Chains A and B, each alone.
Chain A
Amino acid sequence: MNVEGYEIKEDLLYHKEHTWIKKEGEHILIGITDFAQKLAGDITYVDLPSEGDEIIKDKPFGTIETGKWVGKLYGPVDGEVVEINSDVTDDATVINRKPWEAWVLKVKVKNPGQINELLQPGAYANVMRDKLKEIKK
């Protein structure tokens, strides 16, 4: 799916703060959407929690820095960090180049019911459309 030049993958779930979520059994992979990376610009740093740390739904778990701006990354669900993608921490620009491959965290989901609260691609497309309307004002 493509919304005004911003790609959305049909086989992923989304959080309103522009992260994508891929289910892998009891774990999820979290990445940054094409929309977010394009609007953010060139990403220079990613700051992530450590393995074993908890992340909380709708609360910041990390930051990305783009052109002198430090923005927050928000947890899509409650969970425990089981792996950090070192490719991303070594070279954050991979998020700009390959947003759908460059997951940032692998998380063990604490409350599987929260997965059902994540956005389907169509609903996330509407979130993007609303943001795009604001941008064009």
Chain B
Amino acid sequence: MIKLYILNSLDWHADQLIYHSLPLNSIEALFIHTTSMPYVCIGYNYDIDLIDKNYCKKNKIPIFRREIGGGCVYLDSEQLLYHIVLNRENKLVPYKKEELFKKFLIPVLDTLEDIGLSGRIVNRDIFVNGKKISGNGGGEIEDFIVLGGNIIVDFDYERCANIFNFDKSKLYEAMKKNITTVRNELGKGWNVELLIPILVENFKNFFCGLEVEKLPKEVMNIANELKKKYIKKRWLERKRNGKKEIKVVEGVVLNASTSNN
């Protein structure tokens, strides 16, 4: 049976490295988690030059480059994160990537529905009332597929706009217009802790059961080993020649000509 690990208030390294470590331990799992501190997480092919590294340094916001795809996300404790890690030969894993996202995002859509929000998948993200509420990305680590994403409960639009090397006010406006949160939609009574059991229940139904377990020590040991690779400048700055544009959400792209940097 697929394992379920629920871990809250992780430091930023553990938040990312645990799901990188699971394939190396040959563990199929659903990992539901939150971070204790804000950080920036960029996709495997994301151009680091799009990030305002001085702002991040000054404000003690670490930057992490993940092995899997997607753009740049600003993560903090107001987002509920999930990562599905399955062997790529597992019969549950659709070969066609479009289908893979559609299939594994069903429990996330169900969770939103359970709290009164009607979500729909738009290019592998989930939108509510025309705005993005959940971003998703994925890829292969060793012989495993990893699909990860978030449910945005609350969002610091200003801080997120500031982490980019672009016209920050334009970016702020674009984010306000195109990204929503659970609290924006349903009110301030909602928090990450309230969402966790609902998301867990929907994933349990989806997978016909999950084995709730304590994270094995070996997973943390390998995560700690991986840290050496992932904090290296060479890894973080591996991609520097990408497109000079920021995708706020699908279809909303700001390019270098709008930058004031």
Cβ B95 vs Cβ A68 within 8 A: no
Min Cβ gap A44→B in Å is 7
Per-residue CB proximity of A68-89 to B under 8 Å, as 1/0?
A: 1111100000000000000000
Cβ B44 vs Cβ A63 within 8 A: yes
CA distance A70 to B140 in the complex (A): 7
Cβ B45 vs Cβ A66 within 8 A: no
The verdict on A94 contacting chain B, using a C-beta distance below 8 Å, is: no
Interface centre among A41, A45, A135 (most CB of B within 10 A): A45
Cβ A69 vs Cβ B94 within 8 A: no
Query: Which stretch of B78-86, B131-139, B191-199, B218-226 is in the interface?
Result: B131-139
CA distance A47 to B47 in the complex (A): 13
The verdict on A134 contacting chain B, using a C-beta distance below 8 Å, is: yes
B125 nearest in chain A by CB position: A68
Within 8 A of B (CB), among A119-137: 131, 134-135
Within 8 A of A (CB), among B117-139: 123-124, 136-139
Cβ A71 vs Cβ B44 within 8 A: no
A89 nearest in chain B by CB position: B241
Cβ A69 vs Cβ B137 within 8 A: yes
Known contacts: A40-B97, A41-B98. The answer to whether A67 contacts B68 by CB under 8 A is no
Within 8 Å by CB of B45, from A41, A47, A72, A135, lies A47
Cβ B43 vs Cβ A68 within 8 A: yes
Cβ B44 vs Cβ A68 within 8 A: no
A71 nearest in chain B by CB position: B140
Known contacts: A67-B123, A69-B69, A70-B44. The answer to whether A135 contacts B96 by CB under 8 A is yes
Per-residue CB proximity of B95-109 to A under 8 Å, as 1/0?
A: 111111100000000
Chain A residues with CB under 8 A of B67: 70
CA distance A125 to B95 in the complex (A): 16
Cβ B45 vs Cβ A65 within 8 A: yes
CA distance A39 to B138 in the complex (A): 15
CA distance A39 to B97 in the complex (A): 7
CA distance A40 to B98 in the complex (A): 8
The verdict on B23 contacting chain A, using a C-beta distance below 8 Å, is: no
Cβ A69 vs Cβ B45 within 8 A: no
Cβ A131 vs Cβ B95 within 8 A: yes
Chain B residues with CB under 8 A of A39: 95-97
Within 8 Å by CB of B139, from A44, A69, A134, lies A69
Known: A44-B45, A68-B124. 20 other contacts (CB 8 A): A39-B96, A41-B97, A41-B98, A45-B45, A45-B242, A63-B45, A67-B69, A67-B97, A67-B98, A67-B123, A68-B69, A68-B137, A69-B97, A70-B44, A70-B45, A70-B69, A70-B140, A71-B97, A71-B140, A135-B96
The 8 closest A-B pairs by CB, nearest first: A70-B139, A70-B69, A45-B45, A68-B70, A68-B137, A68-B69, A70-B44, A69-B97
Chain B residues at the A interface, C-beta cutoff of 8 Å = 43-45, 67-71, 91, 94-101, 123-124, 136-140, 242
14 CB-based A-B contacts, threshold 8 Å: A41-B98, A47-B44, A63-B139, A65-B44, A67-B98, A68-B124, A68-B138, A69-B101, A69-B138, A70-B43, A70-B69, A72-B140, A134-B91, A135-B95
